[in-house]
Amino acid sequence: MTKYLSSESSKKKGFLYDWETERVPETMTRPWWNLAYIEMGLFASGFGIMMGGLFAGGNWPWYSILSWLIIGNLILLVFYVLIGSIGVKERVPTSYIAEKIFGSYGAKVFNALLLVGILAWAALGVHQIALAITTFTGIDPSITPVIAIILVLLSSIAGYKTIAILSEIAIPFFYVLILTWAIYFGFKVNWNAWGLNQPWGGYWPTYWSGVTFVVGLNIMASFLCPNWSRYAKSTKDVVKASSTAIFTGMILLSFLMATFAAYALTPQDTFADPSVILTRCLGLLVGGVGIVLLIWTTADNDFWYLSLSAVQLYPKIAMWIYDVFLLLGSLVIIYAGVLYRYIDFASMLAVIWSAIPGMLIAHYYVLPRMGVDVDVLKRRNIKFNVIPFIPWAIATVIAYYMSSGGLPFPELAAAVTALVLYSLLMLVYREKR
């Protein structure tokens, strides 16, 4: 770890400070339900509604979709609990935990790649908020991106503090609204229409390809869990928060969104547009407010994670300053008209992330049992550890070819491959008995 992480002082550093360069003190930990709101906000996104559209028109009956969500998210829950518990132990963000694996300089390579990859999706969140505001207010679309970044800045500028405020307001409102209306529309949905493979629907040739889709959707987010779990009081709280968030955010919400999509979309719709689905079901005003809140609670998480990664690159600049510049950068991307080309690039880059959860689990749960100290790089003053880049590269190649060949669980295979290879290669640092 760098010298910036050696203190656990609870000295007051101002509202905007998010303990981005120090361990979170015990006095600043939060209750488990507060953590659950943060995690639910990450899962609640416009893509969740689009995914509901894919499911509703995806050539599979509703009970298969529900079983995909349950099986896939139970697999994800294992990753979330194991890696979230690392955050409780270290009480620092993922960006600094990476120093344990890559070294302080090697972690900068990891965080730079993370910045490049996530910024595309963060900018997309700003763009979707802007489109939703235009839809239900009629404000000129050349102005609404500015409104969108102001909203996201307000909720992400102080990290956990401001994100928690938005989540505690938006998430209960949104979930009660969605649950109430989904029950109402559930009685109106022609459930037999599921399986007609509508133009806006996805297609999964086998049952396990559907489960693979669910696992691959959020396995990347698992290695970012320490960003919020560092505020947990205990591992038990991480289990409660993750279980609640995954059940409500990924299983229940995705299925309810499929109910909305099955009711709202028609064969004439060529795209499962989140704004279209919610406004057709809930009306222009309520649906518009709903979609803004939904995407807003995810976009601020994205910029929070980006800012934490940026701090590790150059810790002398405060996180909130990085947040401002990253939001302005997303605005440039949107106005330059290159957002979707950037997203295409980020989608290709996404294949590299599946290996990271495996190496994190190996470093904290396997290596200590094999005689390798978790802090071995710090003790030996190794600034750049080349070892993890080898399993990372091999696992990425495996994930790419498995995905290209239509084989199930490429992300899971990459994580397991990285776990095994990293554990074996790191034995060079095993202490002599």
**Per-residue pLDDT, 6:** 41
Distance, in Å, from the CA atom of 235 to the CA atom of 226, rounded to the nearest integer, reads 12
Terminal CA-CA length for the chain = 25
- Does residue 22 fall inside a structural domain? no
Q: Could you tell me which residues are beta bridge partners of residue 232?
A: 30
- Does residue 17 fall inside a structural domain? no
- Does residue 395 fall inside a structural domain? yes
- Ramachandran assignment for 102, one of left (phi > 0), alpha (psi -120 to 50 degrees), beta (any other): alpha
**Per-residue pLDDT, 57:** 79
- Does residue 15 fall inside a structural domain? no
pLDDT digits (tens, 9 = 90+) for 49-67: 778 888 877 778 888 888 9
**Per-residue pLDDT, 272:** 78
Q: Please, what are the averages of pLDDT over each run of 10 residues along the chain (433 residues)? A: 44 81 92 91 74 80 88 94 96 96 96 94 92 87 95 93 87 77 69 65 84 87 93 96 88 81 80 81 81 87 94 94 96 95 89 95 96 93 96 96 92 96 94 65
DSSP 348-361: HHGGGGGHHHHHHH
Distance, in Å, from the CA atom of 172 to the CA atom of 179, rounded to the nearest integer, reads 11
Give the domain CATH number at 209. Answer: 1.10.4160.10
pTM exceeds 0.95 for this model: no
- Does residue 389 fall inside a structural domain? yes
- Does residue 194 fall inside a structural domain? yes
Running DSSP on this structure, what letter comes out for residue 426? G
pLDDT digits (tens, 9 = 90+) for 60-109: 888 888 899 999 999 999 999 999 999 999 999 999 999 999 999 999 99
Number of independent structural domains in the chain: 1
Q: Could you tell me which residues are beta bridge partners of residue 417?
A: none
- Does residue 373 fall inside a structural domain? yes
Number of H helices, E strands in the chain: 18, 0
- Domain hosting 311: range is 27-429
Distance, in Å, from the CA atom of 183 to the CA atom of 344, rounded to the nearest integer, reads 36
**Per-residue pLDDT, 4:** 42
Q: Which residue in this structure is represented by tokens 């299983």?
A: 251
Question: 10: helix, coil or strand?
Answer: coil
Residue 151 vs residues 63, 133, 159, 188: alpha-carbon distances, Å: 38, 11, 14, 35
